[in-house]
């Protein structure tokens, strides 16, 4: 197999790797955004049901806040893990892009060298 063929195969593999890394990055970003949306949705509704007494409404709001605080803690832990995953996926995508770019540069140099030799 010639250098040109080997380089073409490497370029093809680097393109596939970049596609995989970008897909992973998109999935990580989407998961993090979904968790952020869930976290934002945990605010207490500003209305109280009309058929509840003032004390029952306050108890309901207190119970909801207790539950929401626990859920916020869970979501914040999840978001921390998702942020790390997103950063790792971003770094892997950057590395894959760099490899693809470097192989493209090598292929161009090889093509230019062949032209000058002919």
11-45 confidence digits (pLDDT tens): 999 999 999 999 999 999 999 999 999 999 988 66
CA distance linking residue 93 with residue 101, whole number of Å: 12
CA distance linking residue 97 with residue 74, whole number of Å: 34
Q: Which CATH class is domain 3-117?
A: mainly alpha
Domain extent listing, the chain: 3-117
Residues 52-107 have pLDDT tens digits of 888 988 898 899 999 999 999 999 999 999 999 999 999 999 999 999 999 999 88
Instruction: Give the global pTM.
Output: 0.80
Instruction: Count other Cβ atoms within 10 Å, centred on residue 14.
Output: 19
CA distance linking residue 118 with residue 115, whole number of Å: 5
Q: List CB contacts of 44: < 8 A, sequence separation 6 or more.
A: 61, 64, 65, 68
Query: Cα 10–29–18 angle (5° rounding)?
Result: 5
């Amino acid at each position: 197999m010639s250098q040109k063929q080997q380089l073409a195969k490497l370029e093809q593999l680097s393109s596939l790797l970049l596609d995989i890394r970008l897909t992973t990055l998109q999935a990580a970003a989407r998961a993090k955004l979904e968790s952020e949306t869930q976290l934002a949705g945990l605010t207490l509704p500003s209305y109280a049901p009309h058929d509840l007494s003032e004390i029952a409404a306050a108890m309901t709001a207190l119970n909801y806040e207790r539950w929401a605080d626990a859920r916020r803690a869970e979501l914040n832990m999840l978001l921390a893990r998702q942020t790390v995953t997103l950063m790792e996926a971003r770094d892997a995508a950057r590395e894959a892009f760099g490899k693809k770019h470097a192989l493209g540069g090598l292929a161009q140099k090889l093509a230019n060298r062949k032209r000058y030799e002919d």
